[in-house]
Amino acid sequence: MDPVQLQNLLTWAAVGLITLGCGGALLIWAREARVGSRRRARLAGHTIVSPGSGGARAALSGVVSGVKRLGDRMAIQDPAQISTVRAKLIQAGWFSREAVAVYLGAKAAALMLATLATVLTVPWAITGGGGMGAILLAGTFAIAAMLGPDQVIKSRRRKLELEYMDGFPDLLDLLVASVEAGLSLDASVNRVGEELTRRHPHLAEHLRFLTLELRAGRSRRDAWGSFAERLGIDDARSLATMLRQSEEMGTSLGETLSVFSEDMRMKRMMRAEEKAMSLPAKLMVPLILFIFPCLMGVLILPAGFRISQTLMAM
């Protein structure tokens, strides 16, 4: 290879590595800044407004209305799945009565769009211009249409489960403090829901539903069982079982909640220690993919530049 070409190649490689590192750093900084600003706004009690113009919101509202009408037709054709789908959506954080229709309509619209995209790729594959690429593209459309909506539900559900697991010890600490201060369990739930609105808004929403069920006359056992099912985490199920056993056996509610709260704090500490122990293993992939190439470039580029200068002088 010509020395000038080698020097240009090394220069562009260095520029690419520097650009990759700076881009990654800017992406991480932007993400952390956005998350930090939203958290500060939530703790300050401000309403978080998503950016967007009125025309864009109107267009989005029209699309949602059309998807909802399509979902209503799907629900009429198969009414047996409505309760199952509604339970999944509640666990994912969508409490609206129209959420089931929107979800079913989105699945139907995704299948229609995937079918249309597949039909449009058939001539490309038949004429020989696309070949295997057209087949792979059609398969990608089909897989995205069949699994996309469910994956969105699962990812949001997993995100909320992590939030619930993180906020559950705080819920129990506040519940213990309220019960020991002389409030009843129902009044304590109402008070804790008000206190958790800023820090854990989704968990506070479930507590408000629990308060409404108790005020409507539902038994405490059934209300706490429904609360645990809506959250979908083992800690909530354990709390519902513990409260039922405490009510049946007549034990002290304050002492029972204190023991359970201490257990939850220990579990959260164990989860934090587990994450800390797994951090070195998780750092291996970014270390090999990003940091190691940059380090090799920093070490090799000066030597390569000297070699190129020597070859040019000969």
pLDDT in tens, the chain (314 residues): 556 665 666 566 666 667 766 776 677 777 777 766 766 666 665 444 444 444 545 545 555 555 555 555 555 455 566 777 777 777 777 777 777 777 777 777 777 777 777 777 766 666 655 566 666 776 777 777 777 778 888 888 888 888 888 888 888 888 888 888 888 888 888 888 888 888 888 888 888 888 888 888 888 888 888 888 888 888 888 888 888 888 778 777 778 888 888 888 888 888 888 888 888 888 888 888 888 888 888 888 888 778 888 877 76
Neighbouring residues of 60: CB distance < 8 A, sequence distance ≥ 6: 52
Q: Give which of 111, 193, 103 is closest to 150, Cα–Cα.
A: 103
Which tokens is 258 given?
């204190």
Helix (H, G, I), strand (E, B) or coil at 169: helix
Dist. CA 132–CA 137, nearest whole Å: 9
pTM value surpassing 0.75: no
Tell how many helices (H) and how many strands (E) occur in the chain.
11, 0
Helix (H) or strand (E) holding 12: helix 3-43
User: Taking the CB of residue 236, how many other CB atoms lie within 10 A of it?
Assistant: 22
Which tokens is 148 given?
């996309």
Residue the block writes with tokens 């209503």: 72
Which tokens is 113 given?
């769009």
The string of DSSP codes covering 243-272 is HHHHHHHT--HHHHHHHHHHHHHHHHHHHH
